[in-house]
Structure 1
Amino acid sequence: MSLQDIKDRIAKAEAAAGRSLGSVTLIAVSKVQPNDRVEAVLEQGHRCFGENRVQEAAAKWPAFRERFPGIDLHLIGPLQTNKARQAMELCNAIHSVDRPKLAKTLARLAQEIGTCPDLFIQVNTGEEPQKAGVLPAEADAFIGECRGLDLPVRGLMCIPPVHEEPALHFALLAKIAARNGLQGLSMGMSGDFETAIALGATHVRVGSAIFGERVKTGE
C-alpha cells in the first residue's frame, strides 16, 4: 500500500457515496514513524499529518515546517492540560477535546494567545471505561459548554471498539454531529475508512497503510 493507493481509495469511496472529490481530508498518522518515512510522504506533496503525543510532535515538526511549507498538523491523541499550550502553538487542529477541565484550559489559553486551533470533541461511542471521550448521552451538553466558552468546535471524533462493527459507531457520531449543527466528522482508520466515508467522514486517520507498520519504541 502507498500514499497514492490510499488517495485513490478515498476518491473511489467519495464517488460511491455521491460526495464531491476532495471532500475528505486524509490525515497521515505519523506517530512513532521514523523521520525518513515521514519525509518520503512530505516529498510526495502530502501536508496533513496526525500525531498522538505533543512531545513527539514538538521533536519532529518544527524542523519539517522549515523545509516544507503548508504543513497541517493534527493532534489525534489524548491531551493533558499541562501540554495544552504547547499543543495549541504546534497544531492546526486538536481532535481529542474530551472533558470540561481541558475545554476551560483551551479557552483561557486562546484568550492569552489570541488564536485557537480547530477543535474536535472526542465521543466515546462504545462507552469503553478505558477510552477517552465524552459519553454519547453527555455529548450535546458538552458541545454546548464548549460553544459557551467561544471555542472553535468544528466537529466530533471517535475511535470505535476494536471488536464491534464500526459502521454503528460512525452512524452514531454523525447523528450527534447533525443535531448539533457540526460539519466535521473525524472517523475511520486504515481498516475502515471507506465505511466511514460512506457515513459522512470529513477526516480519516490512516497510518500503517501509508507508512508501513509502526516501529517499536520499547514502550
Structure 2
Amino acid sequence: MSLPEITARIDAACDRAGRSPAEVALIAVSKVQPDARVEAVLDAGHRVFGENRVQEAQGKWPAWKERYDGVELHLLGPLQSNKARPAMELFDAIHSVDRLKLARRMADMAQELGRCPDLFLQINTGEEGQKAGVAPAEADDFIHEVRALDLPVKGLMCIPPVEETPSLHFALLAKIAARNGLSGLSMGMSADFEEAIALGATHVRVGSAIFGERVTG
C-alpha cells in the first residue's frame, strides 16, 4: 500500500457515501517510523500526521515543522496531565481527552499559553476496562463539562474493540456527536477507515498502510 493508494481509497469511499473527500482528513500515523519513511511522505506533499507519545514527537517534529510548511500534528495517544503543556505547545489537535482532570489542566494551560489545540474527546464505545475514554452513558455529561471550561471541543474519538464489528462503534460515536452538536469524528484506522467514512468520519488514522509495518526495535 502507499499514500496515493490510500488517498484513492478515501476518495472512492467518499464517493460511495455521497461525501466530498475534502470532508475527510487523512492523519498519517508516524509513530515509531524511521525518519526516512516520514520524510518521504512529507516530500510527497502530505502534511497531516499523528503521533502517540509527546516525548517521541518532541524529538523529531519541531525540526520537520521548520523544514516543511503547513504541517499539522495530531496527538492520538493517551496524555498525562503533567505532559499537557508540551503537548499543547507542539500539537495542533489532541484526540485523547478522556477525563475531566486533564481537561481542567488544559484549560489552565490555555489561559497561560494564549492558545489551545483543537480537542477531541475520547469515548470508550466498547466499555473496555483496559482502554481510556469515558463510557457512552457518561459522554453527554462529559462533553457538557469540558465545553463549560471554554475549550475548543471539535469532536469525538473512539477505538473500537478489535474483536467487534467496528461499524457498530462508529455509528454509536456518530450518534453521540450528533445529539451534542459536534461535527468532528476521529474514527477509522488502516483496516476499517472506509467503514468509518461511510458513517461520517472526518479524521481517519492510517499508519501501517502508508508507511509499512512499524519498526519497534
For the aligned pair, the TM-score class normalised by the smaller chain equals over 0.9
Structure 1: which 5+ runs fail to align?
none
Name the structure 1 match of 2:7. Answer: 7
- 1:134-153 matched pairs, under 5 angstroms: 134-153=134-153
Name the structure 2 match of 1:209. Answer: 209
Name the structure 2 match of 1:154. Answer: 154
Q: Distance in 1 between matches of 2:212 and 2:79?
A: 26
Aligned length: 217
Structure 1 residue 216 displacement after superposition: 1.5
Native 8 Å contact 1:23 1:202 kept in 2: yes
Give 1:93's aligned amino acid: A
Name the structure 1 match of 2:87. Answer: 87
Over the residues paired in the alignment, what is the CA RMSD in angstroms?
0.5
Name the structure 2 match of 1:181. Answer: 181
Give 1:200's aligned amino acid: G
Q: Distance in 1 between matches of 2:83 and 2:149?
A: 19
Q: Distance in 2 between matches of 1:181 and 1:91?
A: 24
TM-score by length of 2: 0.99
Query: What percent identity do the matched residue pairs reach?
Result: 74
Q: Distance in 1 between matches of 2:2 and 2:176?
A: 33
Q: Does 1:48 align with 2:48?
A: yes
Q: Distance in 2 between matches of 1:184 and 1:139?
A: 15
Moved over 3 A (4+): none
- 1:42-121 matched pairs, under 5 angstroms: 42-121=42-121
Q: Distance in 1 between matches of 2:72 and 2:143?
A: 24
Structure 1 residue 23 displacement after superposition: 1.1
Name the structure 1 match of 2:31. Answer: 31
Q: Distance in 2 between matches of 1:39 and 1:21?
A: 24
Structure 1 residue 21 displacement after superposition: 2.7
Q: Does 1:126 align with 2:133?
A: no
**Per the alignment, in what secondary structure is the counterpart of residue 154 of structure 2?**
strand
**Per the alignment, in what secondary structure is the counterpart of residue 22 of structure 1?**
helix
Q: Distance in 2 between matches of 1:91 and 1:66?
A: 14
